[in-house]
Amino acid sequence: MGSGRRRRTRGEGVSDGSVGGRLILVATPIGNLGDLSQRAVEVLAAADLIACEDTRRTGRLLQHAGITGASLVRVDQHTEDRASGRIVDRLARGGTVAVVTDAGTPGISDPGERLVRRVLGEGFEVSVVPGPSAPVAALVVSGLPTDRWCMEGFLPRKGAARTDRLAELAVEERTMVFFESPNRLAVTLADMVGAFGAGRQVAVARELTKLHEEVWRGTLADAVSWAQHPPRGEVVVVVGGASPAAGAGDDRIRALVADARSAGSSTRDAADEAARRLGVSRRRAYRLALEAHAPENGAQR
């Protein structure tokens, strides 16, 4: 691909022959440049404008593909809303705009989602050149169930938002996929032990498709020990879902709250204990606790 290919004329790289007024999401390699598809090269070469997270990084990718003379506009999490105006204007003039991120498929924990919504709202066509995706790559090599799964991206960094999110996910029966930075991996795995249980199965994938690709598999408890020496490179964490029996119904929550209250706990403390033990949100447990003990709320909060 690096043989000095010249930039093509507008629309030539679109496989179905249509041109103009179209936004095309283009998946790019997550580590191995050999994963850039021929169709992706053709679409990027033909686009009137390429929206990208980092113009320098995308410039290197285009150079590798032999594409010259491309017009680039930066679209990251800070500029997506502002840059979308320029993109819509180009589409309105019949142009083809390709969207790439630094790695993988646009819109998956990367810029692109809001842009797609606006472009669709303006009445333009949106299509995709599928290809590399870190969540899917990690999922299929994890050894965990792939028939039902959900993408959770990055967890909230700290505080009640993080605790509540993990509590809500504790009863999620689908396989869950998370992103995490190497320096926060050990803390996140430890938090997952507290929310999901030490024996929950997990796979930690790093440097996927690169020379030092590694996939660690085991329990969350063992993963915490393994992560004490943080791995290098980008990390995807795949966690097995809860067993169906782990789901907590309202009656079970009320029963635990009642037990804690009879032992002398306040309504709030009883709700917190039930939420911790069952892996449900504190908000849900407290609401049920208040409903069950409404006459005592004033004194027991």
Q: Which of 83-92, 98-107, 139-148, 291-300 has the lowest mean pLDDT?
A: 291-300
- Using one digit for the tens of pLDDT, what is the confidence trace for 68-117? 999 999 998 888 888 899 999 999 999 999 999 999 999 998 889 999 99
pLDDT at 294: 65
Phi first, then psi, for residue 247 (nearest 5°) are -65, 140
Say if residue 299's pLDDT is above 50.
Answer: no
Coil, helix or strand at residue 30: coil
Who wins on pLDDT, 245 or 170? 170
- Antiparallel, parallel or unpaired: β 72-74 and 96-99: unpaired
**Higher-confidence position of 23 and 195:** 23
DSSP 209-257: TSTT-EEEEEEHHHHHHHTTSPPPS-EEEEEPPPPGGG---HHHHHHHH
